[in-house]
Amino acid sequence: MAYTIALTIHLFCAVIFIGFVFADVIVLPAMKKVLKEEEQQKVTTALSNRARTIFPATVLIIVLSGGFMLSKYINSDLGVFNSTLQQLLMLKVVIALIIASGIVYSLSRKLFKKQPHPIMRHFHKFVLVCGIVIIVLAKFMFVV
């Protein structure tokens, strides 16, 4: 039962997380075509401000619930890379940790009021692609 609760919470937070990233990468740029620049900037600012308030907690919950679920498939009895499921799961973990480290980096730069590296302008695109890869891997884990 605890696993099911963790899975539900994990999926709910993942939908919020990937949903915002999708909106930022796909939806907001499309608004430039129909809104004046000033209106589009207000919408973007409002969404970004809201996201900054819920993003850290959402990512933390995803990482913690993912770690809890990970222990069901990777532990001292089952090993780490003994099955295809475990190998795909570890690939998901590596991708998720890259995303989480990028978020920590971005938040720390904002906290210390410093400019992030220019490559971070494309971070949400990277996160969206990685999120889609994680979703596909999650489905393949139980099939392959």
pLDDT, residue 9, reads 97
pLDDT of residue 8: 97
Phi, psi at 79, each rounded to 5°: 90, -170
130 residue type, one letter: C
Taking CB atoms within 8 Å and a gap of at least 24, the contacts of 4-12 are 6/65, 6/68, 6/69, 7/65, 7/69, 9/61, 9/65, 10/61, 10/62, 10/65, 10/66, 10/69
* C-alpha distances in Å from residue 15, one per residue of 23, 44, 67, 78, 114: 12, 20, 18, 29, 30
- What's the rounded mean pLDDT across residues 64-68? 96
Q: Report, as an integer, the average pLDDT of 24-38.
A: 87
- Range among 46-50, 109-113, 134-138 with highest mean pLDDT value: 134-138
For tokens 């740029």, what's the residue? 29
For the chain, the straight-line distance linking the first and the last C-alpha, in angstroms and rounded, comes to 25
| Per-residue model confidence (pLDDT) at position 53 | 87
* Phi-psi group of 79: left, alpha or beta (phi > 0 → left; psi -120 to 50 → alpha; rest → beta): left
Tokens of 23: 């909106």
pLDDT at 15: 95
Q: Provide the Cα torsion 38, 127, 118, 37; round to 10°.
A: -10
pTM for this predicted structure: 0.88
